């Protein structure tokens, strides 16, 4: 895994991880070992459909056409028809297609949908036989069902972080509360001291708990659980555990802090724009791609940071890859697997990953070698925590989380009232988890 620490956060892009509840994934040891699989037999004269969520440039038509052209140079008789999804209506399109018996042959997304939702419903094809050798065990584990089927062939990954306006923090003498070399806070107390210092320097909007929807909600989950030392779900990924005294106390502390505001009208993308334009002085939903994509608009030095913690910080991660729907047509299934294996082959994999702007899931020499920001962000790579998005009832859990934050905003901010709101949200999410 040494190279993982060098590659994990090279060029990443944040987007809303909107997951669907269902079957939980097994522990890492349950994952099948990747093997050097044989090249699939070409499926000639077949048309397959690829639906892709906005994973970097995999929704950029020119980029995807270029990748498909590479594929068709080798497999000219397999036609790939592409539909580009977003997180506003993508789930509705997929669900409608499934209900109508017209599911796409290939979908590109994360385990939250492909494993915990579609795979748990028996809709997906097991791809264990084409997992490339060298794929990181922890990643395969998150893409594997409880019964051992690999319903997602992983392509790329990310570890989300937060960021601060270094120029403002320096002017407010708040850099003393963090370690710039490790990109970590000295302590949770020092995080709050830094926020207070920036607030006292004349910045009323230091950080914002956005809760207008589920977009980018991994940031608020990571912020609260890291501050409190609490958890969000159990290690078995069978139930949610965030309704704890520790988490309630952490959220109450944020509620009471000058410069930390709740906003029920915005999501992470809005927070990012307010950070980039200098209205907010920190962002809780950040990664290297945000800095790259907003380079022309940024008028200050961005300092990426782990979330504040009194132990080892735990960053929320993301994984994306290909899944194949079982549409009952062996020729289309074989063609879909042929396409996936080509995109993850030694010859094409680096290009496919760079199109995602995320990090690879196995060692790849020279990828993102020209990325000047890479050394800074890569320091946060080892802090990627448990991939709890595959916990059952994920769709309901995400909705309950941001609704809970909205209710906390309307509460008196006491630990007791916050814990009651957390408990109500958790009970609903766990009911969904229990229902499978």
Locate 340 and state its tokens.
């996936």
First to last CA, the chain: 34
Determine the pLDDT at residue 261.
Answer: 98
Cβ-count burial of 256 within 10 angstroms (0-12 exposed, 13-18 middle, 19+ buried)? Answer: exposed
Q: How confident is the model at residue 384 (pLDDT cuts 50, 70, 90)?
A: confident
Mean pLDDT of the chain: 88
Q: How confident is the model at residue 317 (pLDDT cuts 50, 70, 90)?
A: confident
The more confident residue out of 26 and 249 is: 249
Q: How confident is the model at residue 282 (pLDDT cuts 50, 70, 90)?
A: very high
Strand order in the sheet with 317-324: 78-84, 46-52, 106-109, 317-324, 153-159, 359-360
Per the DSSP assignment, residues forming a β-bridge with 207 are 260
Helix, strand, coil: what percent of the chain each, to 5? 40, 15, 40
- As a whole number of angstroms, the distance between CA 102 and CA 138 comes to 33
Closest CA to 154 of 25, 60, 287: 25
- As a whole number of angstroms, the distance between CA 436 and CA 432 comes to 6
Cβ-count burial of 311 within 10 angstroms (0-12 exposed, 13-18 middle, 19+ buried)? Answer: exposed
pLDDT in tens, 354-379: 898 888 999 888 788 777 787 788 78
Strands 106-109, 46-52: pairing kind: parallel
Locate 343 and state its tokens.
């995109």
* Confidence check: pLDDT of 12 > 90: no
* Confidence check: pLDDT of 16 > 70: no
**Tokens 């899944």 belong to residue:** 323
Locate 418 and state its tokens.
């916050």
Determine the pLDDT at residue 190.
Answer: 98
Q: How confident is the model at residue 178 (pLDDT cuts 50, 70, 90)?
A: very high
How many CA within 13 A on the CB side of residue 317?
26
DSSP for 383-428 reads GB---GGGSTTHHHHHHHHHHHHHHHHTS---HHHHHHHHHHHHHH
C-beta atoms surrounding 6 within 10 Å: 16
* Confidence check: pLDDT of 337 > 70: yes
- As a whole number of angstroms, the distance between CA 338 and CA 331 comes to 10
What angle separates helix 349-356 from helix 61-74, to the nearest 10 degrees?
170
Locate 272 and state its tokens.
């990012």
Average pLDDT over residues 407-424: 98
pLDDT in tens, 117-140: 899 899 999 999 999 999 999 899
Determine the pLDDT at residue 163.
Answer: 98
Strand order in the sheet with 282-286: 282-286, 161-165, 302-305
Closest CA to 50 of 105, 132, 103: 105
Strands 260-263, 207-210: pairing kind: parallel
Q: Compute, in degrees rounded to 10, the torsion defined by CA atoms 26, 391, 357, 221.
A: -130
pLDDT in tens, 191-231: 999 999 999 999 999 999 999 998 889 999 999 999 999 99
DSSP for 322-346 reads EEEB--S-HHHHHHHHHHHHHHTST
What angle separates helix 330-343 from helix 61-74, to the nearest 10 degrees?
110
Determine the pLDDT at residue 395.
Answer: 84
- Give the residue ranges of DSSP H helices in 186-329: 188-200, 218-228, 245-256, 268-276, 288-293
For residues 242 and 426, the answer to whether their CB atoms sit within 8 Å is: yes
For residues 166 and 302, the answer to whether their CB atoms sit within 8 Å is: yes
- As a whole number of angstroms, the distance between CA 167 and CA 211 comes to 27
Closest CA to 20 of 418, 323, 337, 407: 323
- As a whole number of angstroms, the distance between CA 368 and CA 365 comes to 9
Length of the chain (residues) = 436
């Amino acid at each position: 895994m040494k190279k993982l620490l060098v590659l994990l956060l090279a060029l990443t892009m944040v987007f809303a991880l909107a997951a669907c509840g269902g079957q939980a994934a097994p522990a890492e040891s349950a994952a099948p070992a990747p093997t050097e699989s044989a090249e699939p037999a070409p499926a000639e004269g077949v048309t397959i459909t690829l639906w892709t969520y906005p994973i970097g440039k995999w929704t950029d038509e020119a980029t995807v056409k270029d990748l498909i052209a590479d594929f068709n140079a080798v497999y000219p008789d397999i036609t790939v028809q592409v539909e580009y999804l977003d997180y506003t209506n993508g789930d509705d399109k997929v669900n409608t297609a499934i209900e109508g018996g017209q599911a796409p042959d290939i979908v590109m997304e994360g385990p939250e949908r492909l494993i915990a939702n579609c795979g748990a419903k028996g809709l997906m094809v097991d791809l264990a036989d084409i997992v490339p050798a060298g794929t990181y065990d922890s990643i395969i584990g998150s893409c594997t069902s409880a019964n051992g089927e690999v319903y997602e062939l992983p392509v790329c990954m990310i570890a989300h972080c937060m960021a601060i306006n270094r120029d403002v923090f320096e002017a407010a003498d708040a850099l003393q509360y963090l370690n710039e070399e490790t990109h970590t806070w000295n302590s949770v107390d020092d995080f709050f001291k830094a926020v207070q210092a920036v607030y006292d320097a004349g910045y009323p909007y230091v950080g914002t708990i956005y809760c207008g929807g589920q977009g980018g909600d991994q940031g608020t989950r990571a912020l609260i659980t890291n501050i409190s030392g609490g958890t969000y779900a159990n290690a078995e990924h069978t139930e949610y555990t965030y309704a704890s005294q520790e988490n309630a106390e952490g959220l109450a502390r944020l509620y009471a802090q000058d410069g930390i505001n709740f906003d029920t009208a915005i999501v992470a993308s809005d927070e990012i724009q307010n950070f980039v334009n200098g209205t907010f002085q920190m962002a809780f939903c950040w990664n290297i791609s945000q800095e790259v994509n907003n380079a022309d608009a940024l008028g200050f030095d961005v300092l990426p940071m782990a979330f504040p913690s009194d132990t080892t910080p735990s960053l929320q991660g993301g994984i994306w890859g290909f899944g194949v729907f079982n549409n009952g047509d062996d020729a289309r299934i074989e063609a879909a697997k042929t396409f996936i294996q080509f995109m993850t082959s030694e010859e094409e994999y680096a290009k496919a990953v760079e199109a995602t702007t995320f990090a690879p899931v196995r060692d790849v020499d020279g990828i993102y070698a020209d990325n000047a920001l890479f050394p800074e962000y890569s320091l946060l790579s080892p802090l990627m925590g448990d991939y709890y998005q595959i916990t059952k009832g994920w769709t309901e859990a995400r909705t309950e989380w941001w609704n809970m934050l909205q209710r906390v905003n309307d509460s008196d901010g006491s630990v007791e009232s916050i814990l009651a709101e957390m408990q109500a949200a958790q009970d609903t999410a766990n009911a969904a988890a229990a229902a499978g």
